[in-house]
Amino acid sequence: MGLRFDSFVLAAATADLSDEPAAREHADAIEFRMDLADEPLAALEAYDGDLPILATNRADWEGGDADDDGRLEALSAATAVESVDAIDIELESILDGAAAGLLETARDRGVSIVASTHDFEGTPPRKEMVRTLTEAGKYADVAKLAVTAESKADTLALLSATEQLTAHGDSVATMAMGEVGSHTRAVAPVYGSKIGYAPVDPDEATAPGQYDLETLAKLVARLT
Ligand SMILES: O=C1C[C@@](O)(C(=O)O)C[C@@H](O)[C@@H]1O
């Protein structure tokens, strides 16, 4: 299995696996947004690209497009696909017990787990971000937090939380969505963030404030 997240992973986020050849030059992985794809499991079965896949089936209550009917089951089916090296599970689904079986299946199959939380409204206080990431890290290989920065102070709080957890030995991925937070996508890896997300085509962004893949690859390579 290729995705261990012991060093930074740049993921090309897409709903279309035929993007892989275009992503190969700059990305370390494909984040396949199953929730945004038409026939995600069929697309995974047919995938013959080189890049390993991080599969995400983002819930509609967490900013994605998937309703809960069959959502975690589809993710579970994805873990059986050879190229799927990691899956993203919402921390909320882990804490309410819904993802218990999925966690076990992923572990049994040697598939890494990213436990994620998104705040589309703002940026929680620093302490709360540390708490959320620490909680997520109990269940996952990488604890991920995406917030919405409204000020430079928000971005500093996020970077500071990232630095603290990384210094403590935790594996985290952080980013601030929105325009004010854009630069954190390039800078958070300096403070230890282990995953960056970028679309191959900037018109196909999967979150506000993303750079295109080539730009983010160059910025991170320059800074880290
Ligand atoms: O959770 C994340 C992070 C993200 O929201 C971002 O801000 O880059 C993009 C999503 O595709 C991914 O699932």
Active site residue 127: no
What would the mean pLDDT of 67-89 be, rounded to a whole number? 98
207 Cα–ligand 1 center, Å:
6
If one residue of 31, 62, 87, 155 were mutated to test the ligand 1 pocket, choosing by the most ligand atoms within 8 A of its CB, it would be 31
Is residue 118 among the annotated active site residues? yes
Instruction: Kindly state if the Cβ of 116 falls inside 6 Å of ligand 1.
Output: yes
Domain annotation covers residue 158: yes
Catalytic residue among 138, 144, 168, 183: 144
ipTM above 0.95, yes or no: yes
How many independent structural domains does the chain possess?
1
pLDDT tens digits, residue range 115-149?
999 999 999 999 999 999 999 999 999 999 999 99
Q: What is the pLDDT of residues 151-191, one digit of tens each?
A: 999 999 999 999 999 999 999 999 999 999 999 999 999 99
Residue 1 pLDDT > 80, yes or no?
Answer: no
Asked if residue 84 belongs to a domain, the reply is: yes
pLDDT (0 to 100) of residue 224: 93
Q: Is 71 annotated as a binding residue?
A: no
Instruction: Using the structure block, give the residue that is written with the tokens 């998937």.
Output: 66
Supply the DSSP string of 138-196, one letter for each residue.
TT-SEEEEEEE-SSHHHHHHHHHHHHHHHHTT--EEEEEESTTTTTHHHHGGGGT--EE
Q: Residue 21, exposed/middle/buried by CB under 10 A (0-12, 13-18, 19+)?
A: exposed
Give the residue numbers spanning the domain of 160. 9-223
Which CATH number does the domain housing residue 57 bear? 3.20.20.70
Q: Is 112 within the bounds of a domain?
A: yes
Does 206 sit in the ligand 1 pocket, CB within 6 Å? yes
Q: Percent of the chain beyond pLDDT 90? A: 97
Whether 117 is covered by a domain: the verdict is yes
- pLDDT value at residue 2: 66
**Any known ligand binding at 58?**
yes
2 within some domain: no
Q: What is the mean pLDDT of residues 35-59?
A: 98
Rounded to the nearest angstrom, the distance between the alpha carbon of 206 and the centre of ligand 1 is 6
Residue 77: is its pLDDT beyond 70? yes
- Per-residue pLDDT band for 82 (boundaries 50, 70, 90) equals very high
Is 210 one of the annotated binding-site residues? yes
115 CA to middle of ligand 1, Å?
12
pLDDT at 14 over 80: yes
Q: Is residue 13 part of a domain?
A: yes
The model's pTM is: 0.97
Q: Tell me: the pLDDT tens digits for 189-219?
A: 999 999 999 999 889 999 999 999 999 999 9
User: Is 3 part of a structural domain of the chain?
Assistant: no
Residue 4 lies in a domain: no
Three-state DSSP class for residue 203: helix
Please choose, from the candidates 131, 124, 110, the residue with its C-alpha nearest in 3D space to the C-alpha of residue 158: 124
